A and B are shown apart, each in its own frame.
Chain A
């Protein structure tokens, strides 16, 4: 038999040693307490379908963020016009990304154009055919706004999740305006979902006490006003706490009528949640939870100013266009503290405090795809997966051992090591093992066994031609080598393509398969050869056990 070089033995030994080492924590079901800290302790990371959890694909409605920026642009232009002492007839947002300005007929348009061009370099300022002035964000600015909205959303959601307390959350930007969120092992996914999906725009708006509410409800809404509703369950007191629900929603379920009170409020917010520094859960004198908020310096000054100017009027506290309460301002409030009441359940108040601390999402998000796997289902999947794989594996091992005898057992060792190497790499890279990944493992076992069968069958053929055992082994390996290489490289190419172009589950399949294929090349060709060499080199073999 051909000599097996020492360096190959050493390299093989190192590979086998490290793959067993990296596998051990997983095989033992987590690194035990005596496991030294300098040894790899990572176990194979199970995908959400195997361990349970929440998978969300979110779409950030960046159009809304651009719209909001255009609204802000209206204010900025107003300011700039005031500074330049320019009178104007009307100014309003037009479309998603532009502002249109109408000047009196006798105005010096050219001067205004120069003024605006100087002040707004990130926008295109031009005169429209019908004589108005249009300020439109340029394409780069719009792209920046969109990108910023997505990045900001990721940050905000991450901070909300961190405060909610989830181990190993994963948040990724996907494509231009999508966020992929994976939260493993959650007890109450629907609560987490509410927490994440909420825009949480907190606004303080003055109630228009002079406006005619009845006329507004009939359709005649004053131009600077809007109608918002306050929802309140009848009677104070906490509703029997249903998880993640407002008391109002719980009351609705209980058949009680929720009172919806319309209020006419100013469109412009006097103050927004951006100026908050803190929000926490507190209790009123009846022991009902409420959320107390603290403004920063600027917010406190503005709050004092607003409350001072409007004593005797009502200030509506609006969250995501819903009024939580609208207390009458009795005096100027200094110190920058306020309270939000609203018949909260304890959890509701707690979650509200979290979203207020983390800040509002710059744009609303919608759920495009959601997959929630309960923890018991995940562990059932694991048990069934393990049970069936072990059962299948044992059948194969038994069959190979019976059919190919000694060589069959060598092949069995090779295939088992193949799976070890795969597990070690998965644990080392922390790539997730999913149900499609298990499909990849099944295919891998098939291909790995096939590689060994190819070698053994070739050796058998050579033996039939009357060659000596050693010569048959050398010839068998040589002839099978190209076949194995071709079949592995083809499968590898396929899996790389699938990884490149596939999405989630397809990728999981591709990764597992690709790693396993590389491992299979090593175990079937090199490892079995090495074992044969050291088993047989000092013996006079008359007949192979094959």
Chain B
């Protein structure tokens, strides 16, 4: 069976201007959204506390709100989580009563005491999850996460620089930056919660995208040897076309896994799968339209500089 004809010869490079407009615009909009809306940082980064509670019947959200108001937590955000029986109670850092010894421990107990009577007689409210992140740790998680990603970019720059050429390395890293910012932009635009799970998704996307980029680069390197007398545009086109079948099939299999995660994975995995689905599309796109054109642009720029230099030295 073949989904992609083996002799396909699509002019990818010819469309690079359009691709540049699309990528540039999305990237730009992402930056705009990030700088105006920011990210909806979850507990992991913003600090605060989250309680996940299950009621025996449908959760009486309004009464829970009143009960929490009575113990001085009127600012708590209460939302349904997964099923009507379950709710999530979020308390932001500012509402944390002091930073004293074991304060979070007491607070979760206090909340449970306040809402337990709402379940009705002889019924139990189940505390399924408590998370508390102090302000200091939240900041550290953010900073460490950012540095881990930046260092991984540097490592890729070095490795690809050694295995291929420097311009390939620049292309690879540029495409990764492109991917990360567009995913961040998506989370900023939709104001979906940005949690550690999303960071895991980002890392997965980086891994996937770099894998995809390397495969295309590798083929370009192969084709350069074979097509010595052709311009780089033609070589890149050939490489992308020859790997197109593999690119589509691989993306398709990953998408299959992700769709399964999306539907059966439960609440936490859901956002993860969603971010990854987007990431697969963006990552595949960027290998073809960000990484490879960068190599081309750098090559042309080098040639021009060389020409200028040769013109200058008689």
Contacts and interface: CB of A to CB of B under 8 A. Distances in A.
B6 A461 contact: yes
A168 to B, nearest CB: 20
A460 interface: yes
Contact of A391 (B131, B211, B214, B260): B260
Give the one of A396, A445, A513 with max B CB within 10 A: A396
Given A388-B263, A454-B246, A493-B155, A364 B215 contact: no
A486 B218 contact: yes
Given A371-B130, A392-B257, A450-B250, A486 B269 contact: no
Given A372-B129, A388-B269, A513 B246 contact: no
A40 interface: no
A446 B257 contact: yes
B145 to A, nearest CB: 7
Given A364-B101, A447-B211, A497-B152, A384 B127 contact: no
Given A464-B6, A491-B210, A503-B141, A384 B102 contact: no
B272 interface: yes
Interface string B101-134: 1111100110001000000000000111111111
Nearest to A243: B109
B77 interface: no
A82 interface: no
A379 B263 CA distance: 18
Nearest to B211: A487
Interface stretch (A28-36, A187-195, A260-268, A425-433): A187-195
Interface stretch (B11-19, B21-29, B183-191, B196-204): B196-204
Interface in B26-60: 52, 54
A498 interface: yes
Given A190-B109, A371-B131, A494 B260 contact: no
Contact of A509 (B136, B203, B214): B203
A306 B178 CA distance: 74
Given A384-B264, A388-B263, A442 B207 contact: no
Interface stretch (A103-111, A114-122, A399-407): A399-407
Interface string A372-398: 111011001100110111011101100
Contacts of A384: 264-266, 269
Contact of A442 (B104, B137, B257): B257
B144 A501 contact: yes
Interface string B72-115: 00000000000000000000000000011111110011000100
B215 A450 contact: yes
B245 A457 contact: yes
B130 A497 contact: no
Chain A: number of interface residues, binned into ranges = 35 or more
A505 B200 contact: yes
A373 B206 CA distance: 29
A112 interface: no
A345 interface: no
A11 interface: no
A186 to B, nearest CB: 12
B177 interface: no
A251 interface: no
A442 B258 contact: yes
Contacts of A513: 207
A330 B268 CA distance: 63
B160 interface: yes
A286 to B, nearest CB: 28
A446 B251 CA distance: 8
Contacts of B113: 253
B156 interface: yes
A510 B155 CA distance: 15
B253 A367 contact: no
Nearest to B160: A490
A62 interface: no
A197 interface: yes
B252 interface: yes
Nearest to B199: A506
Nearest to A460: B6
A449 interface: yes
Interface string B192-231: 0000110111011011101100110111001000000000
B145 A479 contact: no
Interface in A472-508: 479, 482-483, 486-487, 489-491, 493-498, 500-503, 505-506
A396 B159 CA distance: 31
B100 to A, nearest CB: 8
A372 B305 CA distance: 60
A57 B136 CA distance: 11
A369 interface: yes
A435 B268 contact: yes
A490 B126 contact: no
A329 interface: no
A497 B155 contact: yes
B148 interface: yes
Contacts of A440: 200, 204
B141 to A, nearest CB: 6
Interface in B258-314: 258-261, 263-266, 268-269, 272, 276
B204 A442 contact: yes
Give the one of A193, A446, A447, A509 with max B CB within 10 A: A446
Contacts of A194: 102, 105
A374 B128 contact: yes
Contacts of B1: 402-405
A506 B203 contact: yes
A469 B63 CA distance: 72
Interface of A: 57, 189-190, 193-194, 197-199, 244, 253, 364-374, 376-377, 380-381, 384-385, 387-389, 391-393, 395-396, 399-400, 402-405, 435-436, 438-440, 442-443, 445-447, 449-450, 453-454, 457, 460-461, 464, 479, 482-483, 486-487, 489-491, 493-498, 500-503, 505-506, 509-510, 513
Given A376-B126, A496-B155, 19 more contacts: A199-B101, A368-B134, A371-B131, A372-B129, A372-B131, A389-B260, A392-B261, A404-B1, A435-B197, A436-B197, A439-B204, A442-B254, A445-B253, A449-B250, A450-B246, A494-B210, A502-B145, A505-B199, A510-B203
5 contacts: A399-B252, A453-B249, A461-B242, A483-B218, A489-B159
In the A-B complex, list the 3 residue pairs whose CB atoms are closest, starting with the nearest.
A392-B260, A392-B257, A384-B266
